[in-house]
A = this chain, B = another copy of it.
Amino acid sequence: MDTAAPLPQEGTLPSSGHTDVPAGASIAADCPAVNDVLARVGDKWSMQVVMTLADGPVRFNALRRAIDGISQRMLTRTLRALERDGLVVRAVTPSVPPRVDYSLTELGRSLREPVRALGAWAIAHRAAIEAARADFDRREA
């Protein structure tokens, strides 16, 4: 799994100041905007939707089939929320039957990058996380 980084547990010794992170780290946490975005991005379906739209416009039911497990209600709600935040645009083609395509805005596209970084982290460390959980649960039980 990971590269067995030799970095010691900085947590064990508070005496020697700290390690590497300047106070600037706070930019990412104490600001309410971050928590806000995390809440939007962290819900059950938003990022699934954004990533499914990453390759281009997708119709409502195609989206629904692509995501697997999402209910019609939640897809609608999620899309509306994303649209409200300017991450997604809704394009209606008035035909019979009606056709509605959803696609990412430039803002929405810019979100893919940090999310992909988080996704990469998740994939890189999932094994470590699962191992930690198993370990914790074993000790707990």
* Interface residue ranges of A114-135 to B (CB < 8 Å): 114-123, 125-126, 128-129, 131-133, 135
- Measured in the bound complex, the distance between the Cα atoms of B43 and A136 in whole Å is 20
Q: Give the size category of A's interface with B.
A: 35 or more
Whether A96 is near chain B, meaning CB under 8 Å from some CB there, is: no
Q: Are B89 and A9 within 8 A (Cβ)? A: yes
* Copies of the protein in its oligomer: 2
* Interface residue ranges of A20-62 to B (CB < 8 Å): 20-21, 23, 25-31, 33-39, 41-44, 47-48, 50-52, 54-57
> Can you name 23 A-B pairs with beta carbons within 8 Å?
A5-B89, A5-B106, A7-B91, A9-B105, A10-B103, A12-B56, A12-B91, A21-B112, A25-B51, A28-B47, A28-B119, A30-B48, A31-B123, A33-B123, A33-B126, A34-B122, A38-B41, A84-B133, A85-B132, A86-B132, A86-B133, A107-B132, A110-B125
